[in-house]
Structure 1
């Protein structure tokens, strides 16, 4: 079953008054050996009286106290000795005990092949699942075309920029029209337009001060005057004044 197994046989009495002491000595020696993995207590059947040593209390306590696993392989089916109940494992016969404790090389090889096949199938299944997961991830838009979202945002920014430019141009055009209208109104009512129509502004010069002449009393003879016309100013001196008030008419008597 397993060519590499190593075993040792300890021959002892298996019935009679010397059986228990010899079995106890053999169990103690094997239990103390660290290279021993398991102990098989075996006998090839017999009558009830012949099997009495395997029901001895001292032997049963030694079996329980042993640190090495013990297999009870007393080949007697109708009547089981007490050692069968206190041992770590009960085998029907010594041959059954050998089958239980020694693995079958062919069966182990077949098990290894099965486990290897299952491991390979599990690994291939895991690789296939991961490959499908990667394929799904790569097929998503964000990975399939990473610049697509940037292009969409770029187009949106351009639309917003164009809309903002149109709004600013419209606002500037409206404000420019308003400013032009105000300038035209200011020009129409301002002094420059009045001067352009032939009027003049007369100012009395007193040192650095200048006062607008509003009546003939403001410019007695000799007063220095500054006359502003459409294209410049003229300096003059007042020689006299003439009132523009209407003269009274004399009625005929």
Structure 2
């Protein structure tokens, strides 16, 4: 009995020392025993700290001493099974229900014998409405501090959109309301519809993807995100940060039509226009054709009244102008001007006549004065002018040679003569 024992102990020690130290060193020729892997996994998992997680209960099975819960992520298709002992469940004021949103403190636990991994729940708490509202409010304040809700960032809606992008639930009443009311208001309206999940884990990703598709289409002039009413949990995707930032970055105007008048998800704050309901959104994005026709008719009537008043006023002014004497008898103005011309002509003639007479008298006076000083006037008084043959005037008798031919000019005509020797001048002559 001792020999086998003595032989076994050295063999086990040798086998232990020959095993690989790490999993990476194992091989088909030198594998780990299964118990060694299980113990190592147990040791590694036990070192993991407890973690608080949040999710939605989709399955709940209650047993005598434990409850088994399947928890799903609120934003992705990922689930996790939890084990909750009755001691933890008994601390809750109200029992948990399927669909409830909870936070739980979990720690992984590995069972070596069966190789099963379980998530042991040390504490679990339902997320109440107050907690959700507090989270939304904190996110609202953070996004507002970044300026995402500023009015100057909001884009104006087109007066008459060419094509309307509509993001809504599959075959939902909200989609029917928007399309029906918009078509009633403007029959020629055209929609580009994207049917997506509007609640649950896929809502944020599908709405964001549809928004990106419609925003990239140049023919889409406005995008409407519509959903009917629901609980706060149902509307949580429309307060998700990723969706809010996607709407803020969109280049196309976005209209939020989520829930009822009292519902205010964060999408309402960042959208370019907030509609209280899907029906209200249809009224806000397209004009009413009947109202527009009435406005056109009123504008035409007002324009006609203005034109009629203007024409009547101008006709009255023309009649008033035509009633003036100058237009009633236009020849009066010509007669007055003719009288003015005649008067001016008479005045000019009188002035010219007076000037001519005055200048005639002056000429007669000057003529008489000139005549009194002329040589002819001297000749008329009996004097004569004696000239030599060359025309020079004789002033001294001594200067005339004897027998010189002379010309003697008298008042009328002239005489020819021959000069004799000059006589001596008598004294006193």
- Contact 1:225/1:238 (8 A) holds in 2: no
Instruction: Give the TM-score of the pair, scaled to structure 1.
Output: 0.67
User: How far apart, CA to CA, are the structure 2 residues paired with 1:240 and 1:101?
Assistant: 144
- Residue of structure 2 aligned with 1:176, choices 364, 372, 378: 364
**Other structure's SS at 2:268 match:** helix
CA drift of 1:136 comes to 10
- Contact 1:224/1:238 (8 A) holds in 2: no
Number of the residue aligned with 1:249: none
Which has more strand, going by share of residues?
2
- Contact 1:71/1:87 (8 A) holds in 2: yes
- Contact 1:72/1:87 (8 A) holds in 2: yes
- Residue of structure 1 aligned with 2:197, choices 4, 9, 13: 13
**Other structure's SS at 1:9 match:** strand
CA drift of 1:212 comes to 5.9
- Residue of structure 1 aligned with 2:379, choices 184, 188, 191: 191
Q: Which has the higher contact order (CA 8 A, sep 6+)?
A: 1
1:42-86 CA distance string (max 9 Å, x none): 111111111111000011111111222111111233341000000
CA drift of 1:162 comes to 5.0
User: How far apart, CA to CA, are the structure 2 residues paired with 1:66 and 1:229?
Assistant: 131
Number of the residue aligned with 1:96: 280
Unpaired segments ≥5 residues, structure 2: 1-184
User: How far apart, CA to CA, are the structure 1 residues paired with 2:425 and 2:214?
Assistant: 158
- Contact 1:204/1:213 (8 A) holds in 2: no
Q: CA RMSD in A?
A: 4.8
Number of the residue aligned with 2:210: 26
Number of the residue aligned with 2:417: 235
Instruction: Give the TM-score of the pair, scaled to structure 2.
Output: 0.43
Aligned residues: 235
Name the stretch that deviates more: 4-13 or 183-192.
183-192
- Contact 1:91/1:97 (8 A) holds in 2: yes
1:154-191 CA distance string (max 9 Å, x none): 97577446524531331122221342255257689713
After TM superposition, the structure 1 = structure 2 runs for residues 31-180 of structure 1, keeping only pairs within 5 Å, are 31-121=215-305, 156=344, 159-160=347-348, 163-180=351-368
